[in-house]
Amino acid sequence: MYPKWRGFYGAVTLAASLGFLGCGNSGNTFVRVVNASPGLSNFSVVVGQTGVASSLPYGTEGVTPKGDNYSVTDSSGNYRPVGAGSNMATKVIGTQGSTALATATQTYRKNGQYTIVSIAPAPSIQLQILTDSNVSPPSGQYQLRFMDTSVRSGAIDVYITAAGGTVVGATPVIANINFQGVVTNPQSPGTLEIQVTPHGNQADVLAKMPFSPAGGKDYSVFFLDPPNSGSLAYGILVVNDPISTAKM
């Protein structure tokens, strides 16, 4: 399990040089970033011509607030405004130059909300851009969005148990999900634990994490590969999703 330390490794020259340029008069869209690429460091994420995050530690979520000169990172689950537009390039750029480590094209609609996820180990980085709904779950429940970012584990099952509970004999809340898979469904809140196993193998828990979701809230959960090739420690990242379309 990775600690939820959301530090920032310092200002990045490239990102600091990118202004809030937007895209004409199309209005704003709202983005945030998750680093789920083992080995990815010293980088910037750029949407269009706007730098939105720099050098997030592996297994963390964050965004650089507009006007903060890229020296701090907000990890509250809120978003960074950028200019909306069609077929906009989203890039991961190394700070030692302008070379793009990964590129994706996305239409960012006005007032939309998106989570940009870097996946796969460096140097074979990919980008997956999630459209965030951030709508209220059914009464008395919370909304769980789970994404599998692991290229090493193969198909997995996801369990949500009582704290300290076992998965043996339990039914997974998400079964047989694979790399890049995303599943959203409502669940009952409580003092719980997320546990991940290989698909069909309850005897091998790959990762577990305490989880105390509140009713009426939304959460995005990411299953993470070990931080390096010599480690067996898979991880779980939980991100709060603001229902009220809170923005930075």
170 plus 234 within the same structural domain: yes
Domain end among 131, 155, 178: 131
6 or 193: which leads in pLDDT: 193
11, pLDDT greater than 80: no
pLDDT bracket for residue 211 (50, 70, 90): very high
Q: Which residue has the tokens 């047989």?
A: 176
Q: Which residue has the tokens 């460096």?
A: 122
207, pLDDT greater than 90: yes
101 plus 169 within the same structural domain: no
Looking at the domain assignment, is residue 136 inside a domain? no
Residue 93's identity, in one-letter code, is I
Coil, strand or helix: which one is 131? strand
Distance between CA atoms of residues 216 and 143, nearest Å: 8
Domain end among 131, 156, 177: 131
Looking at the domain assignment, is residue 212 inside a domain? yes
Average pLDDT over residues 116-139: 93
Q: Are strands 60-62 and 156-162 parallel, antiparallel or unpaired?
A: unpaired
181 plus 229 within the same structural domain: yes
Average pLDDT over residues 219-227: 96
99 plus 176 within the same structural domain: no
179 plus 212 within the same structural domain: yes
Looking at the domain assignment, is residue 156 inside a domain? yes
46 plus 108 within the same structural domain: yes
Residue 117 belongs to domain spanning: 13-131
Distance between CA atoms of residues 148 and 223, nearest Å: 5
111 plus 153 within the same structural domain: no
Looking at the domain assignment, is residue 48 inside a domain? yes
Cβ–Cβ contacts within 10 Å for residue 139, how many?
8
Task: Give the pTM.
Answer: 0.85
Number of domains comprising the chain: 2
pLDDT score for 3: 40
| Pick from 144, 222, 243: nearest CA to 187 | 144
Q: Are strands 43-47 and 85-94 parallel, antiparallel or unpaired?
A: antiparallel
244, pLDDT greater than 80: no
Percent with pLDDT over 70 in the chain: 82
Tell me the per-residue pLDDT of 151-176, one tens digit each, with 9 for 90 and over: 999 999 999 999 999 999 999 999 99
Q: What token pair was written down for 56?
A: 């997030």
pLDDT bracket for residue 24 (50, 70, 90): very low
149 plus 124 within the same structural domain: no
Looking at the domain assignment, is residue 108 inside a domain? yes
120 plus 62 within the same structural domain: yes
CATH number where 122 lies? 2.60.40
pLDDT score for 2: 45
pLDDT score for 134: 85
Looking at the domain assignment, is residue 3 inside a domain? no
pLDDT score for 247: 45
147 plus 221 within the same structural domain: yes
Name the average pLDDT for the chain. Answer: 85
Looking at the domain assignment, is residue 7 inside a domain? no
Looking at the domain assignment, is residue 2 inside a domain? no
157 plus 90 within the same structural domain: no
Half-sphere exposure of 211 (CA within 13 A, CB side): 32
Q: What token pair was written down for 4?
A: 């939820």
Domain end among 131, 156, 179: 131
127 plus 177 within the same structural domain: no
pLDDT score for 74: 63
Average pLDDT over residues 18-37: 70
Out of 16-30, 97-111, 159-173, pick the least confident: 16-30
